[in-house]
């Protein structure tokens, strides 16, 4: 297995419960790099009602790399207010400029500071961290990377505290290619009562120990959710709605950096025509709205693991109560750290490489901040544990 094609050649799994199976995971080569991207001050931006812009910039971190490499068959995870990506040296050198252009666009068009840092895995391994990766298949050709170990957590700490790695600087000379990035689906109302965004991180991140802890969490969540994760999936066909002119149109035009009235009118017309097709189910050439919507449900990332279990679940009030009780018990037993956030809606941000060939992914987050707000509780628990150790 070559280092360059490492991720593309490892076997995939399609049952999420196999997340805890060791045989689907491989150690990441030490000459690969971790890219950490996040919006500084995202909590303040979210509290002022800008969570959709925050989500779109987080997804744009992945989109600009997809467009530069011509594929999304590389490891990444959407985190709400940012993203984490793994790349070999050869591909990192190709995408650095795109990320710097995105930093410039984020500040120039939105007034949001996008921090991007890179850390070589060898440096993380030398500090005692480990990193294993698996490929969860949503549908043929569409995968979500799953990560075990402690290297991503360490990389994030190094970048945010300026303890190592390399921080990229914004470049504003042109704009990154963000074709395929969109957010045209109306917020999805909860069907069961509450959209629960949760983060669960094992306190011991050793691969075998964390797998055991997460396996226990998933089994108990499965029981709580009527033995069917899909019953709590926030995305389903009945609730998919497209406004004729989406509220996020302004943000999408900013990302496209379209200033010509003629080009702007053409883009708006394209959006309206496609949204009409999706609302009324009529084909446009090879594009089948019904096929696309069915794929959209399958290709939504409402459950994933990047050293932290991330889930956006549509729950009843009783289920929310049971889940929070479960997580609190595990926290008190020193097995996990966790954070939760409740809202009445979920949001989708989309990357469409080919709508006709089924190559599209949809990032799910809870409205009102979702992952970013849940992370505040998680970080408080970690900080408290650290303070108790140093007392």
Token look-up 């408080």 returns 380
Q: What is the pTM of this model?
A: 0.92
- Decide: 133 and 24 in contact? Cβ < 8 Å: no
DSSP 298-364: HTB-SEEEBSSEEEEEEE-HHHHHHHHHHHHHHHHTTSEEEEEEEESEEEEEEEEEETTTTEEEEEE
Candidate from 165-169, 257-261, 279-283, 305-309 with smallest mean pLDDT: 257-261
Mean pLDDT score, 310-328: 98
**Above pLDDT 70, what percent of the chain?**
97
Span 188-238, pLDDT tens digits: 999 999 999 999 999 988 888 888 999 999 999 999 998 889 999 999 988
- Decide: 272 and 279 in contact? Cβ < 8 Å: no
State residue 266's pLDDT score: 81
Q: Which residues contact 120 (CB under 8 A, 6 or more apart)?
A: 30, 31, 32, 33, 34, 165
Mean pLDDT, the chain, whole residue set? 92
Span 48-105, pLDDT tens digits: 999 989 999 999 999 999 999 999 899 999 999 999 999 999 999 999 999 999 999 9
* Helical packing angle, 51-69 and 370-390, nearest 10°: 90
Residue predicted with more confidence, 26 or 227: 26
Q: Which residues contact 86 (CB under 8 A, 6 or more apart)?
A: 7, 28, 32, 33, 34, 35, 74, 75, 76, 133, 145
State residue 261's pLDDT score: 73
Q: What values do phi and psi take at 282, rounded to 5? A: -115, 140
State residue 259's pLDDT score: 57
Quick check: 390 pLDDT over 70? no
State residue 2's pLDDT score: 53
What are 38's strand-pairing partners? 82, 115
State residue 4's pLDDT score: 67
Mean pLDDT score, 20-46: 94
Quick check: 257 pLDDT over 70? no
What token pair was written down for 19? 């997340």
Quick check: 251 pLDDT over 80? no
Span 114-141, pLDDT tens digits: 999 999 999 999 999 999 999 999 999 8
Please report, in angstroms and rounded to a whole number, the separation of the first and last CA atoms in the chain: 48
What are 284's strand-pairing partners? 287
Handedness of CA 181, 185, 191, 196 (dihedral sign): positive
**Above pLDDT 90, what percent of the chain?**
74
Quick check: 391 pLDDT over 60? no
State residue 7's pLDDT score: 94
Span 137-164, pLDDT tens digits: 999 989 999 999 999 999 999 999 999 9
């Amino acid at each position: 297995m070559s280092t360059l094609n490492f991720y593309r050649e490892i076997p995939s799994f399609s049952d999420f419960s196999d997340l805890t199976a060791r045989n689907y995971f491989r150690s990441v080569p030490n000459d690969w790099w971790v890219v950490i991207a996040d919006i500084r001050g995202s909590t303040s931006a979210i509290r002022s009602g800008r969570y959709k812009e925050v989500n779109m910039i987080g997804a744009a971190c992945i989109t600009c790399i997809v467009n530069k490499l011509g594929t999304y068959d590389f490891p990444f995870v959407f985190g709400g207010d940012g993203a984490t990506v793994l790349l070999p040296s050869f591909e990192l050198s190709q995408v650095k400029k795109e990320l710097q252009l995105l930093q410039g666009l984020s500040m120039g068009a939105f007034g949001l500071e996008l921090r991007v840092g890179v850390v070589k895995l060898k440096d993380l391994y030398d500090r005692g961290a480990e990193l294993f990766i698996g490929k969860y298949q949503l549908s043929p050709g569409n995968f979500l990377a799953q990560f075990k170990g402690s290297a991503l957590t360490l990389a994030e700490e190094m970048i945010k505290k300026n303890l190592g790695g390399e921080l990229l600087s914004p470049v504003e000379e042109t704009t990154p290619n963000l074709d395929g990035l969109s957010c045209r689906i109306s917020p999805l109302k909860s069907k069961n009562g509450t959209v629960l965004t949760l983060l669960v991180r094992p306190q011991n991140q050793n691969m075998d120990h964390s797998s055991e802890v997460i396996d226990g969490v998933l089994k108990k969540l499965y029981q709580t959710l009527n033995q069917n994760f899909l019953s709590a999936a926030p995305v389903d066909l009945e609730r998919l709605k497209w406004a004729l002119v989406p509220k996020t149109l302004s943000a999408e035009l900013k990302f496209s950096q379209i200033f010509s009235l003629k080009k702007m009118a053409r883009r708006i017309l394209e959006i309206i025509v496609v949204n009409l097709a999706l609302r009324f189910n009529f084909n446009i050439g090879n594009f089948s709205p019904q096929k696309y919507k069915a794929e959209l449900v399958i290709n939504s990332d409402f459950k994933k693991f990047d050293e932290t279990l991330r889930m956006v679940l549509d729950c009843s009030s009783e289920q929310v109560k049971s889940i929070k009780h479960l997580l609190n018990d595990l926290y008190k037993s020193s097995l996990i750290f966790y954070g939760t956030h409740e809202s009445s809606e979920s949001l989708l941000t989309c990357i469409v490489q080919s709508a006709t060939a089924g190559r599209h992914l949809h990032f799910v987050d809870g409205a009102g901040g979702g992952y970013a707000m849940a992370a505040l509780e998680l970080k408080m628990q970690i900080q408290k544990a650290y303070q108790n150790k140093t007392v």
